[in-house]
Structure 1
Amino acid sequence: MSAIRNIRRYRDVQNWGDLPEAPIRLEHLDAGYGEIHDGWVHTKTVPFGIIAQAVEGTYIVRTPRGLITASDGEVFITPPNMPLEITHRCRPDTKRMMIRFAHFRFSFMGAVDLFDLYDPTGSSDRQAGLVYGDLIQRMLDIKAQEQGLSFPNWAHKSMLAFRLLGLVLDSSVPREGYETRLAQLQQIQPLLTFIVQHIGQPLDIATLLSHCNYSRSALFSLFRSAFGQTPMEYVKSQRLGAAFRKLITTSLPVAEIAGETGFANSFHFSREFKARFHKTPTEVRKENGIWREKTAGYPRG
């Protein structure tokens, strides 16, 4: 099937139920609110996207792409895996900074973060920021009422998350080579699914080749073109992303997380984790605990 016909397989579907699988998957979602003291600098690299609203005060965000600011109702938006230095500045008249945010990971077919395919704008004006803020507030309303598993709550949170995604994509642009890359992802989707489903098991090139119809050189070429990585570099990036999410959403011991995500031992895991996220697993978990305390407030919308 040609690349163009492969893409049309999704474009021409009239009934959503006819899709072979959900092409966009929500894999991580969190929302928070808090009051931050003036001058606090938060440095981090995280495997999920961020939409953060300066309800009062100003964000000053330094990224490899340049400086982003957001003040008094505006938001900043950053893709995953981008090193961030976030400075918080209080509003002079109120002497405080109030923030509201959503953290999210959407993937295409579980294989690649959607914002590896799209380039989001760095910030919004106040009018758009208020729309983002309202959706995040509605997530916080649900979060404050949750008591155990509730399918209606999950449905409403998913609806709000996808509305956020739609707003972000409306102001984003496809990255260079988008259609070619999309076709490549669909070509190797069975192999990518196998990797995700066996992320905690030993995986090597021989194993990957046994689950696809490509030669070694063709597989390397395809992964280089689609991800800018070798096949095993892609496996490692998937393992590290999964491990990061487990660190901040579970209380599992670090050694157990290392094993569940396919690392040979805790030392190997910690070394690779720090190389990717610039902090050790223990540091990330500790900082996430402090961050949750800072943003555990609930504003009345």
Structure 2
Amino acid sequence: MYLWESFPENMIKLRFADVGRGYANDGIIHEKTVPFVIVAQAITGQYEVASPLGNVTASGTEVFLAPSNLPLKITHRSQPDKATMSFQYIHLEFMLFETIDIFSVYTLPLKSDKEKGQQLGAIIAELLHLQDVSTKELAISHLLQRNELTSRLLNILLSLCHPPDDELINYQIYQSVVPVFTYIKKHLASSITMDDLIPLMPLSRSAFFQFFKKHFKKTPMDYLKSIRLNEAYRLLCYSDRSISKIADETGFSNSYHFSREFRKYFHKTPSQARITHRDLIDSKSLA
């Protein structure tokens, strides 16, 4: 039993979505870790994806799925008589209470079945069409259509998932931690300690620590670091701020500390992450 019927209407919000299509030469390997969910489908050819959670091959109408912050090694394979493969994808992030990645609560499989993959692929294609025909005059209409399509996509993804350990999902548990994440968001550029966060929940220090380990699989300070680094990644990709400015805005003591932690988490330097994203936007050549 799930308590969806008790959830407030504004509980789930799309924070980020980027849809695209492209081509890749046979055998091209793309290694990355990104702070958003990946839903990608090979139109021709197939994907071979290796990660710490396992290896999958996705072809035909199947899609490969990856939660945020999962190290991926993606190999693009063309059909035997072709030099390139073609694909479409969406990168997205849905939040609970505007603070919690919904797929930190639900466990996303590494790929879909063919039926669900066909449904997901059709939605991605519709989103791509909206992107292609978008105009200022139709902006509101297209925004409403995008919201409808991404909501349908989320519904399909959730139908493929199950809560960690098949536990009962009780929104009050996750709502109780919202003040902590709200504080972090408001003070992201500042130094934050356990002593700042613990008073925001009616828990002892040890219970606070165990709450994060149970529900988010991280210690409170590790979760704080992941929030800082994920926001830094977004700023690198979607702003022209300098690396030192981004380090300041996300609470790192200096650029060296930021670059070291960023590379440890995403397996590339901040500069490499920015260049990779710009190359993707320019060419749409890698999902």
Q: Identify whether the pair has TM-score above 0.5, normalized to the shorter chain.
A: yes
Question: Percent same amino acid at aligned positions?
Answer: 35
- Correspondence 1:208 to 2:207: no
> In the alignment, is residue 124 of structure 1 matched against residue 118 of structure 2?
no
Alignment-derived partner of residue 155 in structure 1: 144
2:238 paired with 1:249: yes
Helix, strand or coil at the partner of 2:165: coil
SS in 1 for 2:27: coil
Match of 2:127 in 1: 139
**Whole-angstrom CA distance in 2 between matches of 1:39 and 1:229:** 35
Q: Which moved more, 1:48-57 or 1:217-226?
A: 217-226
Change in Cα spacing, 1:86 to 1:79, as seen in structure 2 (3 Å) is: same
For the residue of structure 1 that corresponds to 2:18, the secondary structure is strand
The residue matched to 2:111 in structure 1 has which SS?
coil
- In the alignment, is residue 286 of structure 1 matched against residue 275 of structure 2? yes
Q: Which runs of 5+ in 2 are unaligned?
A: none
Please report how far the alpha carbon of residue 30 of structure 1 lies from its aligned counterpart in structure 2 after TM superposition. 0.3
Query: 2: CA distance between counterparts of 1:171 and 1:118?
Result: 10
Quick check: 1:38–1:96 contact (8 Å CA) kept in 2?
yes
Contact 1:78 1:122 in 2 (8 A): yes
1:59 Cα deviation from its structure 2 partner? 0.5
Q: Is 1:61 aligned to residue 55 of structure 2?
A: no
- Shift of the 220–124 alpha-carbon distance from structure 1 to 2, 3 Å rule, reads closer
**Offset of 1:70 from its aligned partner?**
1.2
Give structure 1 stretches of 5+ with no counterpart.
Answer: 14-18
SS in 2 for 1:179: coil
Q: TM-score, normalised by structure 2?
A: 0.89
Bigger Cα displacement from structure 2, 271-280 vs 258-267? 258-267
Matched, 1:102 2:101: no
The answer to whether the 8 Å contact 1:181/1:225 transfers is no
Question: Alpha-carbon deviation of 1:44?
Answer: 0.6
Q: Deviations over 1:80-114 (max 9, x none)?
A: 11111000011123433111000011122233221
Residues 165-244 of structure 1 aligned to structure 2 (within 5 Å):
165-176=154-165, 178-179=167-168, 182-244=171-233
Q: Report the counterpart of residue 16 of structure 1 in structure 2.
A: none
The alpha-carbon distance between structure 1 residues 151 and 199, as it changes in their structure 2 partners (threshold 3 A), is farther
The Cα offsets for residues 9-28 of structure 1, whole Å up to 9 and x where unpaired, read as x5346xxxxx2x62212111
Deviation at 1:37, TM superposition (A): 0.7
Matched, 1:37 2:37: no
Secondary structure at the aligned position of 2:153 is classed as: helix
Contact kept? 2:49, 2:72, Cα under 8 Å? yes
CA distance in 2, matches of 1:199, 1:146: 35
| Residue in 2 that maps onto 1:11 | 5
Tell me the amino acid that sits aligned with residue 11 of structure 1. E
For residues 191 and 283 of structure 1, the distance between their equivalents in structure 2, rounded to whole angstroms, comes to 32
Q: 1:224 to 1:120 in 2, by over 3 A?
A: closer
Distance 1:62 1:90 in 2: 17
What code does the residue aligned with 2:126 have? Answer: R
Q: Tell me if structure 1 keeps the 8 A contact 2:176–2:201.
A: no
CA RMSD of aligned residues (A): 2.4
Aligned length: 285
Aligned-partner Cα distance in 1 for 2:151–2:127: 12
Which residue pairs with 1:24 in the alignment?
A: 12
For the residue of structure 2 that corresponds to 1:102, the secondary structure is strand
Secondary structure of the 2:109 match is: coil
CA distance in 1, matches of 2:54, 2:185: 33
CA distance, structure 2, for counterparts of residue 217 and residue 130 of structure 1: 46
Change (3 A) 1:127 1:109: same
* C-alpha distance after superposition, 1:245-275 (max 9, x if no partner): 1212222211121122122221111111111
Aligned to 2:76: 88
Q: CA deviation at 1:188?
A: 2.2
Equivalent residues of 1:184, 1:222 under 8 A apart? no
Matched, 1:259 2:248: yes
Query: TM-score, normalising length from structure 1?
Result: 0.86
